[in-house]
Amino acid sequence: MESIDVRVLRTARDWHAAGHRLLLITVVKTWGSSPRPVGSMMALREDGRCVGSVSGGCIEDDLVHRYTCAYGDGAMAQTTPALVRYGVTADEAHRFGLPCGGTLELLLEFQPDLAALETLVQRLESGQLMQRTVDCITGAVTLAPAPAPEALRFDGARLTSTLGPQYRMLLIGAGALAEYLATMALFNDFAVTVCDPRLEHLGTWSVPDVRITREMPDDAVRTLNPDTRTCIVALSHDPKLDDLALLEALHSPAFYVGAIGSRRNTISRRQRLMEHFDETEESLARLHAPVGIYIGSKTPAEIAVSVMAEILAVKNGVALPRTFSVTQAKARLEMQGS
C-alpha cells in the first residue's frame, strides 16, 4: 500500500500529463463533526472519475455534478482557485450527510501546475517530507523541503500543507499477533516492516505488502531511522529480541514505542532495562507496556485491535483516560473480585 496523498497527487499528475482537465480539492477547514480531517485530498477529472475523498460520498457526488461533463458541460474552465463550503445550513448538512451539523470548507485548484505536481510526486516517492504552499488568489504553488511534519495552515489567502512519506510501523516478531496488527496498519495507511531473525517464525508469514527483515532488532531500528511518523512495537515475547529493539527505539523520535507482555513481565522488563542498560524512569515513560488499551481482549485478533487503537490515539493526539490502561483496568478488576 502507499499513502493516499501520494496516490491522489500521482493520479492528478498522470491525468494532467495525458491532457485531461482536472480539479485538485483539499479540505482546508472543518467545524463541528466532519467525516474527513483537514488536509484530506481528492482529484476529480472532467469525465467524473475521481480518487481520494473529502467526505463520506455525498459531497463527492455534488462536486462531480457541478464541475464535470458527466452532467453537462462541466465548469472546469476556471483558472484561479475557488473556496466552497458545505453544511452551512441544517438542510445542507442533512442533504450532504454531514454529522451533527458539521461544516467543511474546500479549496478547489483548477488544472494545478503540471511541473509542480511532477516535482512534488517525485520527491514524495523518494521519501522526502515536503511543504506545499498554494496562493489561493492566483493558484501559484511553491514547494520546499519540510524539516518536520506540521499541521495544515490556512488563512483564507494561503494554504500550506506538509506532505510526506507514510506513517511507518516496525514490528519485532512475526507471530500471529503481528500478522493481525500488520493487516490493520496497512488498512490505516501505514508502511509496515516486520523484523524477526528467527527463520522458523517467518516461514508461515502470510500478509502481503509488508517488508520483511531478518536483521537483529536493534539493527532494524537503526536501519529504519525512525522519525515522528514511526511507531515501533515489540511482540516477540523474547527479551533478547524485544529489549534490543526497545533500547534503540526509546531514544529515537518515534511517536509510539510499545511492548507486549503481562504486567509481571512488564515490571521485570523495566527493572532489567534500568539495572543493566542505564535506562531511567524518565526514558521509560515513553514505553507503552503492556501494549494496547483494555478491551478484555484474549485472542491475537482482539489484542491487535487494542494495540492499533492505542497507536492511532497517540498518532492523533488523543489523551486516553487512565481507565483504558491495561494495568489499571486489570488491577481494578482484581480489587473488585477480592
In the chain, the amino acid numbered 70 is A
Q: Which CATH class is domain 167-337?
A: alpha beta
3-state secondary structure of 233: strand
Cα gap 332→338, rounded to integer Å: 10
Between CA 113 and CA 118 the distance in angstroms is 9
**Single-letter amino acid code for the residue at 77:** A
pLDDT tens digit sequence for 100-133: 557 889 999 999 999 999 999 999 888 788 999 9
- The pLDDT assigned to 148 comes to 78
Per DSSP, the chain holds a count of helices (H) and strands (E) of: 12, 15
Task: Say what the pTM is.
Answer: 0.74
Neighbouring-strand partners of residue 27: 106
As a whole number of Å, the end-to-end CA separation of the chain is: 48
> What would the grid cell of residue 85 be?
463550503
Q: Say whether the peptide bond before residue 37 is cis (omega within 30 degrees of 0).
A: no
Is residue 91 pLDDT above 90, yes or no? Answer: no
* Cα(151)–Cα(131) distance, integer angstroms: 11
Confidence of residue 73 (pLDDT cuts 50, 70, 90): low
Ordered by start, the domain boundaries in the chain are 4-163, 167-337
Residues 230, 254 contacting (CB under 8 angstroms): yes
Q: In whole angstroms, what is the distance from residue 329 CA to residue 296 CA? A: 9
Q: Where are the alpha helices (DSSP H) in 281-324?
A: 281-284, 300-315
CA 296 – CA 306 distance, rounded (Å): 9
Tell me: the pLDDT tens digits for 22-66? 999 999 998 766 667 899 999 999 999 999 998 866 788 889 988
With beta carbons less than 8 A apart as the criterion, state whether 189 and 312 touch: no
pLDDT for residue 287: 95
Can you give the pLDDT at residue 5?
86
Q: Is the pLDDT of residue 338 over 90?
A: no
Checking if the pLDDT of 87 tops 80, the result is: no
Q: What are phi and psi of 155, to 5 degrees?
A: -120, 15
Other CB atoms closer than 10 Å to residue 271's CB: what's the count? 11
Which single residue is written with the C-alpha cell 482536472?
22
Are 204 and 229 a contacting pair, CB within 8 Å? no
Check whether 302 has a pLDDT greater than 90.
Answer: yes
Residue pLDDT, tens place only, 153-179: 999 999 999 998 788 999 999 999 999
Interatomic CA distance for residues 44 and 23, integer angstroms:
5
pLDDT score of 90:
62
Whole-number pLDDT of residue 273: 94
**What is the Cα–Cα distance from 134 to 143, expressed in whole angstroms?**
9
